[in-house]
Amino acid sequence: MSVMNDAQLAESLGFRSEYADVNGTRLHYVIGGRGKPVVLLGGWPHTWWEFHKVMPPLAEHYQVVVVDIRGMNLSAKPESGYDKKTMARDVLELVRHLGFERVDLVGHDIGAMVAFSFAANHPEAVGKLVLVDVPHPDEDLYDLTLLPSPGQPLHLWWFAFNQLTALPQILLDGRVRALVDHLSELMLLDPGNIDEQAREIYARAYDSPDAIRASNGWYQTFGQDAEDMKSYAPLTLPVLALTSRPEEGNYTVKALRKAVVGPQFEQIPDTGHYIPEEQPEAMVTHVRKFLG
């Protein structure tokens, strides 16, 4: 199928597509709405489009900036800088480029890791923080097993796969759509919540050796991220975590209870990991209530 380009996609939502040279790299972002600034950061294997269902309703109340993080989609794909501290600096410089002193942050998946790092390293520039289903990497990641236990609901096989150099580029180049389909089936309760257009958008964004290498970089830096985490004091700003699973035994809840003073948790019912695409109305309700 023929898919609109990013500028056309942004325009279809009432947003505009822009670029900024920041922190020695180039970021693509889309911006729209009016009000206090809210920055949205997404994850793998998606693009800014993962928020397309929540962007218009949020833009009724906020100025919304949705960023393709370093290595994603139309943003530059340098050889290095995929640790979350550097990526957080990218976003800080973008925020300054846009003339904002302070923003609220909403991060999902890899974007949640970057958002947490932003708050840890640049607390003066963030008001409130929303983390969707993922915490910042810490040393507990080393306890993940390579083989799933009997009855384990989810096996994060790609955490190990994305550590590999060169091989993912060889295996996935020209075949990323199969990966997008696999993860959509695995990580949604209703796979139809990521539709054909979205799947094509995501496949197009990652279907080159450079794009695969860059996205691998987000995972290959987890060791550095975990080391950086040791130096961060617990966050004291308001933090809301939206989760897809109950608090008991939830990795995100466990991690944030150690890393945040007084975090708030809200479980979103009837959703898999891709909450912005599976339960956008619930996400918007919780985000608006929290941000005010």
- pLDDT tens-place values along the chain, 292 residues long: 788 999 999 999 999 999 999 999 999 999 999 999 999 999 999 999 999 999 999 999 999 999 999 999 999 999 999 999 999 999 999 999 999 999 999 999 999 999 999 999 999 999 999 999 999 999 999 999 889 999 887 889 999 999 999 999 999 999 999 999 999 999 999 999 999 999 999 999 999 999 999 999 999 999 999 999 999 999 999 999 999 998 887 899 999 999 999 999 999 999 999 999 999 999 999 999 999 9
- Does this model's pTM top 0.85? My answer is yes
Residue 133 lies in a domain: yes
> 1 lies in a domain?
no
Check residue 14 and give left, alpha or beta (phi > 0: left; psi -120 to 50: alpha). left
State how many domains the chain has. Answer: 1
Residue 40 resides in a domain: yes
Residue 201: domain span = 6-291
The answer to whether residue 135 sits within a structural domain is yes
Say if residues 171 and 212 touch (Cβ distance below 8 Å): no
What order of strands is seen across the sheet that includes strand 37-41?
16-22, 25-33, 63-68, 37-41, 103-108, 126-132, 239-243, 264-267
The answer as to whether 76 is a domain residue is: yes
CATH code at position 201: 3.40.50.1820
